[in-house]
Amino acid sequence: MSINRHIGTGKPLNQSKGQSDESPRDSQREDTSEDESQEVIPELEPLSYFGTDFDVEGLVRRLYRGDIVIARSGSSRNRSSGELDFQRAFIWKKEQMDRFIESLLLGFPIPGIFLVQQQDSSYLVLDGQQRLMTLELFYSGELGPGIPFTLEDVADEFRGLSYRTLSEEQRRALDTTFIHAIIVRYNASRGGSESVYTLFERLNTGGTALDPQEIRVALYNGPLVELLNEFNEFPDWRQMYGVISERLRDQELILRFLSFFLNSNEYRRPLKAFLNEFLANYRDLHGLDVEELRSTFQETCATANRALGRLALRPGTQINAAFAESILVGLARRLRVGPISDLDGVVAMRESLLKNPDFISAISSAPASEEHVYKRLQIASEAFRIVP
């Protein structure tokens, strides 16, 4: 069980591919001028919901069976429990975990949880992850492999106890304590998934808030998210991007490439709604030629990495998503007519793009606007189209 706006102009032409004078940690920083979390999704559909009470033992049992799913960070469910492989750090400190269990043993009132009903009738946890993860761990008896979960920062009568060493009366009191749950229902065909996404954003404001892609892999978990995970491990992609992003920003960049490569003509703001819709529509890979898509992404990354290395995703020292998707989409469109033999020509086209004021404006000023998305993709595609 897992617990655990400055746009540069690049380097001079005599700089070898992928080189930069920043540290590896600095090169992982991303341009923050395009903040999806601040975008507002218009015309949200109303949500229906109802309240119910779960006993604690029943909640834990449902977690183990996978009937209740805790969003963590990857795509696939752990077969031994209901969690998604979401390797985010556990936010609560041990003291908070102990006090939560103690509150239940003392019969204190605690906040309710929010769940959303999924297509397979399971429930995804929108709010209450830390409380449910604490219960799951306490009932398992371990904080981690070989680390027992015994109560410490509690009253004397509970100190040193684990779930197994609770008295029969204490265990019964804990097992039969009720936790109130709000269960959200929605109609995905009417756009209700965007309302759930927005609710998820607004509920996850405490501790370390989830990034947009982290919410997506929870709400739209399925074969397409698994494909993003697969693509994210391709060697050429990893060499260009760098170390794996704990916040899934590398996977989001792949999603942006796929969305714009396949559906750029359908782009409408806000960007996060466009990405949500793509992931929702192709969640089960229906309508996608997976082998062709895999081949396109591999060939695009291989060409970009051989010609540009890490500079394929960076106009300067930081990864810039608008710049990166333009380079990748432009190369992918060119590769439709055949392999690229002139890698020096790819380098020259990158340099020419960074000297093009229209392109620079399209990646730095309101980069999510329809005008600038279309403009930068068109400019990049036309530039790479003439490379032999």
Domain ranges of the chain: 24-38+210-385, 48-185
How many Cβ atoms sit within 10 Å of the Cβ of residue 239?
16
The label of the residue with tokens 């709400």 reads: 219
pTM of model > 0.85: no
Distance CA 116, CA 30 (A): 32
- Do 86 and 74 contact (CB within 8 A), yes or no? yes
Distance CA 355, CA 358 (A): 9
Distance CA 212, CA 218 (A): 10
Alpha-carbon separation of residue 308 from 161, 215, 257, 281 (angstroms): 58, 32, 17, 33
Res 200: pLDDT: 72
Q: How close are the terminal C-alpha atoms of the chain, in Å?
A: 51
Res 6: pLDDT: 31
Query: What are the beta bridge partners of residue 147?
Result: 144
- Do 22 and 6 contact (CB within 8 A), yes or no? no
Q: Would the pLDDT of 1 be above 60?
A: no
How many Cβ atoms sit within 10 Å of the Cβ of residue 286?
9
Query: What are 242-275's pLDDT values in tens digits?
Result: 999 988 999 999 999 999 999 999 999 899 889 9
Give DSSP secondary structure letters for 183-203.
EEE--GGGTHHHHHHHHHHHH
Range among 7-11, 103-107, 188-192 with highest mean pLDDT value: 103-107
Lowest mean pLDDT: which of 31-35, 39-43, 200-204, 349-353? Answer: 31-35
| Total residues belonging to the chain | 388
